Structure 1
Amino acid sequence: MGNNSNGLGMTKTIGYRDWRWQALWWHHFFLLWSTINAQTRYSITEELKQGSVVGNLAKDLGLGLSEIFDRKLRVASEAGEQYFSVDAGKGELVVNDRIDREALCGQSASCVLTLQVVIDKPLQLHRVEVEIQDINDNSPRFPSQEITLQIAESTAAGARFPLEIAQDLDVGVNSVRSYTLSKDDFFSLKIKDVSGGRKVPELVLSKSLDREQKPFHQLQLTAIDGGNPVKSGTSQLTITVLDINDNFPVFEKNVYKVSISENSVEGASILKLTAKDTDEGPNGEIEYSFGTHTPDIVLSVFDIDSLTGEIRLIGKLDFETNAYYEIDISARDKGTPRMEGHCMVHIEVLDVNDNAPNIFLTSQPNSVPEDAPSGTVVALISARDLDSGNNGKVTLQLPKGSPFNLKPSFSDNYALVTGGVLDRESFSEYNIEITAADLGSPSLSTKKTINVNITDVNDNRPVFSQSTYAVYLKENGIPGSILYSVSASDTDSGENAKISYSILDSKVQDVSVSSYVYINSDNGSIYSMHSFDYEKLKVFQIQVQAKDQGSPSLSSNTTVHVFILDQNDNAPAVIYPSSAALGSLSHQRMPRSAKAGHLVTKVTAVDADSGHNAWISYKLAEATDASLFTVNLYTGEVRTKRAASEQDDSSQRLLIEIKDDGEPVQSATVTVSILLEDGLHEPILDLRHKVAEPSRKTGRITLYLILSLASVSVLSLVTFLILAVKCMRNSTSSGSCCTTRTDCDNYKNPNRNLQIQLNSDGPIKYVEVLGGDMMSQSQSFRSCMSPMSEYSDFTLIKPSSTTDFKEVISVLDASLPDSTWTFESQQVSSG
């Protein structure tokens, strides 16, 4: 009894407490209900423009326009998205943002957005519902473009097989309304209405199947909606005839969509699929796999767990290779025969800027001639970036200062053109570095070097290594020997730089220069045609031309000055006493009373050579009485060493040897016969005043000789005086005798000089009159005074060709002692 009493008391206590809590709840409910007025409902279609009017909210709530501000009317959406707002000026509820019914309510038949309108002072809460009505903006679409069915051949006619329902995001009349099936003898289509007004297509077996006759059936299923205009979608239906296992696995969805970034790591989980089979045992056990015709590229990137249906990433994604994957997933049971269901997984790959731009040569670079005008196209270039959006937009740049430009063409194609003056001799080729950068963040860039060759144009003349050449050549050389090799270079290339040498025609002593020398056209070596004689030709010029083989060819000239160097190839020639007039023996007379140092005669000789080769020395080789006579080494004067005596033989014979200073030494001899006579008081050689009269014939000969010598002497003296006067008038210094010939002997050359050289060689006086400049031929006249003439008679000895002796003697006769002879020259310019 006690226990029961205790139990009853506890029950009562608990019931009392529940009643108190219920009373408190109802109190709060009625308190809240007192602040809520009747709700308002509006109806609009989806996809209205922003600002479209839904309804007059102020009027429907019984509020004046002023109350909207005073009572602080607020609108909030239970969905969280603010699709609507209140126009405070008009009190209207307007659309604030785009409304997509399918995104808000999916396939729900009713789509209502609930708004909460809160008003202060006093606090009131109004519930406003906005019904979103559908429009036909979506087409029906089957989950997969291909539907595969397996039907046992034992299935009786009339059997029905549900097909995949086409998905139409629209609802109501705009949703799928009917299906059609292509004509087939074995199958027909029935439409089954299910709850919610949906229609499910069912494949009806019209007559029994025979797998052996036709194991496969291909049908086309079409879904049509009820919108205006009508929209439709199709799917290919493949029916495989089986023998058993009449239930196949079914996925929760027919189509799965997922997005993944291309830089996702390997092993990332993408999606987990689930399929169910109403069969039991092995017929209900499901294995997941990719479809039979899944491409290898999908198999290399994705993998599916056969037991769990989880799809994982096993390879690297590349948006640029495949931005979208559509994978057929198969769920197969383990029955006999095995049944399977299918779904489609759509994987969208999201791009990241992971590809640098690529530069392609649409055409290989052309060689460009160095004289190509600006704007000449060198190469065609294109740039590509496998990324998308700004990640795939490319800009190209060239280095600053490049003589090339990039000219845009179309669609990321460019032309590389010349933009400045080209010079192959400065740059024979260009390595042009092109930089391509995309507009991604961060930006990626690529560089490519293009090699452009500059071809040569014959725009440079050959240039000699020297402007002029000076060649010193010994006389009496071997004909055919090389004189000199000139060299020219051409900065062009190929045929434009291939040089041939030639000698321009000119005259040397009225003879073509080609008679003296010839040139090797390939290497510029100049060879002599014959031996040269210094005494006939001292200097000449060769004009050499270097010509390239370009088109048109270019050429340049240089001058080779050839100076002939003297060799000792001439023996001294005796000019007094004259062997031609008196025979090989010269007869002289002297008084027996002559004292020591008496000048008996003077032997004079000249040497056609020059310099040391022309220095003459005299030596007494033999004598009847060597103690009586002596010969001066340099002047050739024959004098007595002692006074003659009565015992001396009246006939004395002297053999005088004359040598030059060359190498080898050249020599000549002369024999002088001296008669010692008593009573001879006057000089034996004063033939003009006193003439011996041994006979009339000898007197006549002597007279003729005197007249000839006098005539020549007078003529020489007059010539010397005239030249001396001209020299005195035109000379600028008293120490030299130079006159500039401006118009003499039919020469108009302002650079020709007249040079007079007066030398004293013992008792023999001679003067040299020289004319010409360094680069032109001139005439030299040497006059020698007779050793026995007291009136400075002149004898004209030889003409010779010479050049400016200041240069030639400095080369040929640098060792000539100053005490031996003096050469003075001063060139006076003719203003």
Structure 2
Amino acid sequence: MIKVRTDGLENAYEDIRPLFFEFEVLEDVRLGYIVGSVALEGNSNWKYHSVSSEGNDYFDVDSTNGDIMTKSKLDYELVHDVILEIIASKSGQHSNVERSISVYVRIVDVNDNRPEFAENTTWMVIKENSAIGTFIGQVSAEDKDSGDYGTIDYALVSAPSAVRIDQKSGIITVAGSIDREKESVYHFKVRATDVGGLSSEIEVLLFVADKNDNVPRFELESYSTEIPENVNVGTKLLTLNVVDEDSDYDFSFEIDRRGNERRLFAIDQDGIVYVAAPLDREYNAKHSLRIIVTDQKPPHKVFSASTTLSVIVTDVNDNAPKFTSPSTFFVFEEVPLGTLVGIVNAVDADFGNNAQLQYRVLPASHPEAIFIVDPVFGYIQVNGRLDREKRSVYHLTIDATDRGSPSLTSSTNITIVLLDIDDNESILNEVYYGKIAENSPIGQHVVHVTFEDVDEVENSAKIFAIESGDPDNDFRISTRSGLIVVNKHLDAEYRSVYNLSISMRCSVDSKKQFTRVQIEVIDVNDERPRFKEGDHLVFAVAENLRGPYPIVLGSTIAEDRDQDQNGTISYAIVQVSLYI
């Protein structure tokens, strides 16, 4: 709609009438659009032209009819109104007549501009687990239109339920759960719409900042690896991979000192476990390590996890056998072939084949092969005739070799001493005599049985025994020395002579030799005479008995068990008592 107000003169004098026109025109009219006319009435001879002004850039005036037309595109957002100065002129009878016309053109706004964002894409950041209502960010669009046409409403397009936007301010806030482990980036748009329905959109990238709310975990609950004991320090064992659903982590690894007291193993911050000190399987063949990982460092919230790593140290043949058996053995001469002399034993600190040993007699040390050794058990056995009278000592070198690759060997020197056996006759004296008083104490020496033997003195320590003649064991003989001593209290009155048969042999299985021993028990006056009738004798006699005197009243007999003079008895009356 165009409003035209024409103010002309009220009277008929054209030369003094002030002219003022006011028009309104929509900003979106076409070029050449007639805004209005400033034609003067009553005479068509007027000519119109505009005086130089800024309005000339937008409008032209028709020189013949005074129509004002658009010259260029109007834009309310650039120019709200324009003032034109127009001169109307005509030729008179005597001179030219000019009139000045002022024209005010008001440009009316039209909703011809969409809301515009400063950029096509924007990004924002929000921490996960933020509370509902937490401010995320704000979008803002501009609309060059004025009035209601410049009023903008905001709305979300294809947005998650976890966010909302204020319709008027464009402030975006948290509306639900934000979990980075479920969604790390949200893609959505915000639409800005003016009252006239024109709109534009901006793409929003909402990045979810991680919060340390998840515990790290190792890929496996436990790990196991094998490594030879001679591995170089610094050798990598394996890499422990850790999974953490959080993104903002700073892993730190450590090995618990329990199980790693000697600090044989270490771990770097990339989770690589490596050998930190020389290993020795013989000291420890299996190491159980507890490895701990933390995902942050204080003062941040810290979560940790642990796993176990079993390190099996495999054996390397790095230990030679060590002999633990004695170096000297003894064996009797003349023992049969195959007789066990002794056992050589060696130990190997290695494991498996590296610790399995084989024994052998070094041929150069014992070419006659009188002795052999079992290669597995180390038994030393007789392999030929042993005669001490020809050779009494043998010296051998025995090797122990393990089955490692390469194998290791140790040697030991042993000595075998032959023991003499009684293979020569012992000569006993034919008869031994001894005397002993019957009151002699127990242990009193009686007689010493001796012999002659051409064998080694050590082997002449024979075994003596009383074979017969002493059923009550009144005597005993030393089994080694042949000394006979009193074993019980003797009684010459009970037995005064013993005839003993004595045997001697070199060993349990050897032949016995015999001799005789006669022992006389000498009597000691140790028995009192005893009356056969007892301690009281009673004799009856008639009174007034007449002689001749002495008259025999009766008799008594006493006995003494002692022998010879010790058993001779004499009688005497020592006291007389008369009874009526």
How does the TM-score come out when normalised to structure 1? 0.31
More relative contact order, 1 or 2 (CA 8 Å, 6+ apart): 2
How does the TM-score come out when normalised to structure 2? 0.43
Greater share of helix: 1
